[in-house]
Amino acid sequence: MSILRHGESTTRSNLRQPTPKVDFKLAAARFLALPFCLLVWELISRSGHFNSQLFPPPSEVFSTLWGDLRSGLILSDAGASLSRVTVGYVTGALIGIGFGVLTGRSTMADASIGQIFQLARPIPPISLVPVAILWFGLGEFAKYFLVFFGVFFPVWINAHLGISNIERSYVWMAESMGASRWSQIFNVYLPAATPLIFAGLRVAIATSFFCLVAAEIAGASSGLAFRIEVSHLAFRVDRMFGDMIVLGMLSAAADQGLALGLQKLFPWAQQGAAQNGQ
C-alpha cells in the first residue's frame, strides 16, 4: 500500500504544472515606460530651452484635451471621422472581397480585370486627393472615395491570393458531391481563404485612417484631422497633439476590435493565419 501511495503521489507531482515565474523587472519596465517618457517630455518642455507654445508639456496637452472632451468638440469630431472611416472601409472591404473571389476563381477575370487592378494598386491613395476634389467636390463622398480606394486593394489582393491558392482537392470533392457554384464559394473557397482575407482586413484598417487624414486635411468642416489642420493655423500645438492622441487611439482600438471580433467569430481562421505567419 505504501508503494502504491508513493507511486500515486509521484504521478500526481509529475502532473503538476510548474508555477510561472513573474519577471518583476520586465513588468516594471512595461509599467513605467510611458510615465517616464511623459516626465521627460514635461521636464524638457518646461526647461526654458524650447518654446513651450510650439512644444507644450503633456500636462497642458491633456488639460486641453480634457477641456475639448467636456465641451463636446472631441466627440463631434471623432464621430465625423469614424463615420467616414466606417462607410469607406465597409464598402471597400466588401467590394474587395467580391472582386478577389472573381479574379481568384476565373483566369479570364484575372487576365483582364486583375491586370487593371495590379496597375492601379501601386498608386498612393493620397495622390488622388486633388482628383477626388475635382470629381466629387468637398462633400462627404470625396472622403468616402479616398478611404474606399485605400481599403479596396489590400483586401482584394489578399482575397485574390487566398482564393487562387486553394487546394484543388477541396474543389474536386465539392464538385463530386454536386455542390453548386455559389455553394462552393461560400463553403469551400471563402473558408479556405479566410486567413489571408483577415490579414488584408487588418492592413486596410491602418490604410483607412491614413486616407482619412489626407481627405480631412484637404477639405472638411469637421473631423479630427480637420481640427489638427485648423489648430496648426492657430499655433495651437497642444490641441494638435491632443487630437493626434485621440486619432491614434481610435485607429488602435479599431484594429484590436477587428482582430478580437474575427478571433471570436472565426477562431480556426486565426489559427491558420498564425501558422501561415510562422
Which CATH number is correct for 58-277, 3.40.50.300, 1.10.10.10, 1.10.1040.10, 1.10.3720.10?
1.10.3720.10
Q: Residues 221, 226, 228, 229: is their CA dihedral positive or negative?
A: negative
In this structure, the chain runs to a length of 278
Over the chain (278 residues), the average pLDDT of each successive run of 10 is: 46 53 73 86 85 87 92 92 95 95 90 92 90 88 94 95 83 75 78 88 93 89 90 90 93 90 74 48
| Contact (CB, 8 A) for 209 and 85 | yes
Res 6: pLDDT: 47
Can you tell me whether residue 235 is helix, strand or coil? coil
Query: Given this model, what pLDDT does residue 17 score?
Result: 56
Residue whose C-alpha cell reads 510615465 in the numeric block: 35
pLDDT of residue 270: 57
Cβ(184)–Cβ(190) under 8 Å? Answer: no
Which pLDDT does position 49 carry in this prediction? Answer: 83
pTM, full prediction: 0.81
DSSP letter, residue 20: P
**Measured distance CA(80)–CA(191) in Å, rounded:** 34
